[in-house]
Amino acid sequence: MPASDFSRRRFLGAASAAGLGAAALTACGGSDSGSGKDSSGRTIVEWWNIQTTEPSKTIWPERAKAFEAKNPDVRIKLVTLENDAYKSKMTALTSSGKLPDIYHTWGGGVLKQQIDAGLVEDLTGPMESMADTLVPASVKAYQFDGKTYAMPFDIGAVGFWYNKALFKKAGIGAPPTTWAEYLDAVKKLKAAGIAPIALAGKEKWPGMYYWAYLSMRIAGVDGLQKAADEKDFTGDAFVKAGERLKELVALEPFQKGFLGAAYSTPNGEAAAMGNGKAAMELMGQWAPTVQADAGKGIGKDLGFFSFPAVDGGAGALTDVFGGGGGYAVRKGAPQAAADFLKFFMTAESDRILVEKANMIPVVKDAASALTDPNLTAVSDMLAKSTGFQLYLDQAYPPAVGQEVNDSVAALIAGSKSPDQVARSVTQVFKSQ
């Protein structure tokens, strides 16, 4: 069949051209279908975000409108996707070489991979004028080789959000600061008939937080960094981290049906917290907002404490795990994309985000806008931090990040041993 042979060869040629040509693609970036003009001749800038919950669901379009009012020749088109859907879609887009004009990023290894593929605009130049206005820690996850590739709009950290009323009911005086105290608190809650911990087992990343924090507490931030550099997680510390987590899992601390629970759905982790059905969750700075959106929210009963220290571990109670959010710009996007991001992160604009959308300020001059006690607690923890580690599923290459998530999920579900977790993460890392 000459016909199919012909098309096959043509296809293979075309496909490898696509592979080689991530850079070539950008040459015609300006005329890509994603960034055309609308019917009235305005430049369309697509803005992919994950703000599916209130209040940012409303604030984000308002900010776009405000920019359009000042720049009548630009139209900002919002594409809002739910976190998990966003991640799968971005993977597909990245391998296709076509990213949105502006898109959400957590920085780290995922962003690095996109940069290496030549898909991301270097924002060092455009951001130069405002570099000093930003909180340095907020930009770090997006900097590689001295260049900045994304505009931060949020920073934060992961810690335990807990229900003070339920802790009181279980007779727990002060939030635990060591792992032993923590396990004790879990037992007390359990004895009082309260589900100690809410966990979104279906989504895997919330479970990863436990293993990551335990690894940090035992190996220390430096130990974790060293493991990543050497692509070797078989060290004693990481097996021990798994063992500690296994101790916790053995207490059956999670809400009913946690293995099938998503994060922000009505039966999910956030709702369990927000409706007072579970006493705590290990989550980032957005937790209070989502609790109130997916559930009712527990208002003043909500408190925050750092992940407890592990006896004999190299890490300190003040080492922080987490990350923020930023917006990267695809290579070849219209100039208006960077302009918009600069507009979005003026002190004035950031104040609006802090006051109305519960973000933690990244512009220094917006710091005074932070009044919410919960977010202040997170912000304080960050300010006093002695070490910082980005989310593992973002810090490492995607295959490794997913393997960490998967393996830890398997540990929590009881099908992998601590040792197996360490080995499978190492194995995938080495293959990268």
Partner 1 sequence: MTSTYVKDARPAVDQEPAAGPANRRPRARRVKDWLTAVSFTLPALLLFGALVLAPILYALYVSLFNWGGFGSPEDYTGLDNYTRLIDDPVFLGDLWRGLLLVLFSIVVQLPFALAMAVALNQKLRGRAVYRMLFFAPYVLSEVITGVLFSMIFAPDDGLADRFLGSIGLDGLGGLWFADQDTVLPTLFLVMTWKYFGFHMMLYLAGLQNIPHELYEAARIDGASAWHRFRYITLPLLGPTVRISAFLSVIGAIQLFDLVWVISQGGPDHASETMAITLFQFGFKRYQIGYASAISIALFLISLVFALAYQRFVLRRDTEGALTNMRANR
Partner 2 sequence: MTAPEAVGRRRFGKVPVYVIVWLVGIVMVTPLLYALISGFKSTDQLSSNPFGLPSPWVTSNYTDILASSSFWRMLGSSTLVAIGTTLLTVGAAALAAFSLARFAYRGRELLFTLFTVGLMFPFAVAILPLFILLRTFGLLDNPWGVILPQAAFGLPITIVILRGFFRAIPGELEEAATLDGCSPFGFFWRILLPMARPALGTVSVLAVVSSWNNFLLPLLVFTQETWWTIPVGVQQFQGQYAADIARVFAYLVLAMVPALAFYAVAERQLIGGITMGATKG
Give me the half-sphere count of Cα atoms (radius 13 Å) on the Cβ side of residue 338: 20
For residue 294, the partner it binds in partner 1, partner 2, none, with Cβ less than 5 to 8 A by kind, is partner 2
- 226 C-beta neighbours (distance < 10 Å), count: 13
Nearest approach in angstroms of CB 241 to partner 2 is 32
| Residue 180, C-beta contacts closer than 8 angstroms, at least 6 positions apart | 311
269 binds partner 2, rule: CB under 8 A? no
122 binds partner 2, rule: CB under 8 A? no
Pick between residue 14 and residue 383 the one whose CB is nearest to partner 2.
14
Q: How many residues bind partner 2 (CB under 8 A)?
A: 33
- 200 C-beta neighbours (distance < 10 Å), count: 27
Q: Which residues, numbered 179-218, are part of the site for partner 2 (CB under 8 A)?
A: none
Nearest approach in angstroms of CB 193 to partner 1 is 16
Q: Which residues, numbered 48-87, are part of the site for partner 2 (CB under 8 A)?
A: 52, 79-82, 84-85
What's the CA gap between 414 and 40, in Å, rounded? 58
283 binds partner 2, rule: CB under 8 A? no
Pick between residue 304 and residue 391 the one whose CB is nearest to partner 1.
391
11 binds partner 2, rule: CB under 8 A? yes
Nearest approach in angstroms of CB 4 to partner 2 is 8
Tokens encoding 334: 């219209």
46 binds partner 2, rule: CB under 8 A? yes
| Residue 270, C-beta contacts closer than 8 angstroms, at least 6 positions apart | 198, 200, 263, 264, 281, 283, 287, 290, 291, 293, 294, 295
266 binds partner 2, rule: CB under 8 A? yes
Sheet holding 159-163, edge to edge: 195-197, 278-283, 159-163, 302-305
What is residue 287's DSSP assignment? H
* DSSP secondary structure string for all residues of 63-94: HHHHHHHH-TTEEEEEEE--HHHHHHHHHHHH
Kindly give the residue spans of alpha helices, DSSP state H, lying in 124-278: 124-127, 136-139, 164-169, 179-191, 205-230, 236-250, 269-274
Exposure string for 129-166, b = 16+ CB within 10 A, e = fewer: eeeebbbebbbbbbebeeebbbbbbbbbbbbbbbbeeb
Pick between residue 77 and residue 231 the one whose CB is nearest to partner 2.
77
Which helix (H) or strand (E) segment holds residue 5: the answer is helix 2-20
Residues that bind partner 1 (CB under 8 A): 1, 3-4, 7-8, 11-12, 15-16, 19-20, 22, 87-88, 91-92, 94-95, 113, 116-117, 201-202, 204, 256-261, 266-267, 397-399, 402-403, 409-410, 412-415, 431-432
Pick between residue 87 and residue 351 the one whose CB is nearest to partner 2.
87
Pick between residue 93 and residue 280 the one whose CB is nearest to partner 2.
93
Cα separations (Å) of 218 from 158, 226, 287, 319, 419? 17, 13, 26, 11, 15
Tokens encoding 22: 């991530």
Q: Are strands 147-148 and 319-322 parallel, antiparallel or unpaired?
A: unpaired
For residue 415, the partner it binds in partner 1, partner 2, none, with Cβ less than 5 to 8 A by kind, is partner 1
- 299 C-beta neighbours (distance < 10 Å), count: 10
Pick between residue 293 and residue 350 the one whose CB is nearest to partner 2.
293
Nearest approach in angstroms of CB 201 to partner 1 is 6
Pick between residue 155 and residue 262 the one whose CB is nearest to partner 2.
262
23 binds partner 2, rule: CB under 8 A? no
Pick between residue 19 and residue 136 the one whose CB is nearest to partner 1.
19
**Beta carbons of 250 and 119 less than 8 angstroms apart:** no
Pick between residue 199 and residue 375 the one whose CB is nearest to partner 1.
199
Nearest approach in angstroms of CB 254 to partner 2 is 20
For residue 264, the partner it binds in partner 2, partner 1, none, with Cβ less than 5 to 8 A by kind, is partner 2
Pick between residue 272 and residue 341 the one whose CB is nearest to partner 1.
272
**Beta carbons of 302 and 291 less than 8 angstroms apart:** yes
For residue 231, the partner it binds in partner 2, partner 1, none, with Cβ less than 5 to 8 A by kind, is none
Nearest approach in angstroms of CB 272 to partner 1 is 11
**For binding to partner 2 (CB under 8 A), which residues are involved?**
1, 11, 14-15, 17-19, 33-34, 46, 52, 79-82, 84-85, 89, 92-93, 95-98, 100, 262, 264-266, 268, 271, 293-294
